[in-house]
Amino acid sequence: MCSPKPSSPTTSFLPASKDPFNRTVDLPNHDEQQLHRLLTLFEVPEEIKAIGKILGPTAISSLLLYSRAVISMLFFSYLGELELAGGSLAIGVANITGYSVISGLAMGMEPVCGQAYGAKQLKNLGLTLQRTMLLLLSLSLSCGPT
């Protein structure tokens, strides 16, 4: 019925551009070699320190977030089996309906703020942060008890 022509590696799905200003920037050979080289023995501790500066606060905040549920379960276990089951169910429902939605909306702000900061557009960074905080606050207040 249909005999498709096999594609070759040189063909592209995008149309060929005839625009003389549509150019790609190639890294010089020296810079490309710098990106793909192994670290020296003197650079390894510096790299570990740089990763540790990012890793430390992230790990502490994650541990504190998860320890809240663990501590709640410990207290519920002293109250009884039925209370433990109810507390576990309540924490599960709160995680699914509340925290995941708010966390997802907050994660939507992250790339926008990162790009604004990288482009030195601090006004846009501040506006995005304020609008996201207002959105999250209004969402959290609307989910609260009535």
Per-residue pLDDT of 56-92, as tens digits, reads: 898 998 899 889 888 988 999 899 899 999 999 988 8
pLDDT at 37: 76
pLDDT of 19 over the 80 cut: no
pLDDT of 39 over the 80 cut: no
The pTM of the whole model exceeds 0.85: no
pLDDT at 12: 46
**Distance of alpha carbon 109 from its chain centroid, rounded?**
10
Domain boundaries in the chain? 100-146
pLDDT of 21 over the 60 cut: no
Q: Hey, is 99 helix, strand or coil?
A: helix
pLDDT tens digits, residue range 92-134? Answer: 888 888 888 888 888 888 898 889 999 999 999 999 999 999 9
- Phi-psi domain of 26 (left: phi exceeds 0; alpha: psi -120 through 50; beta: other): beta
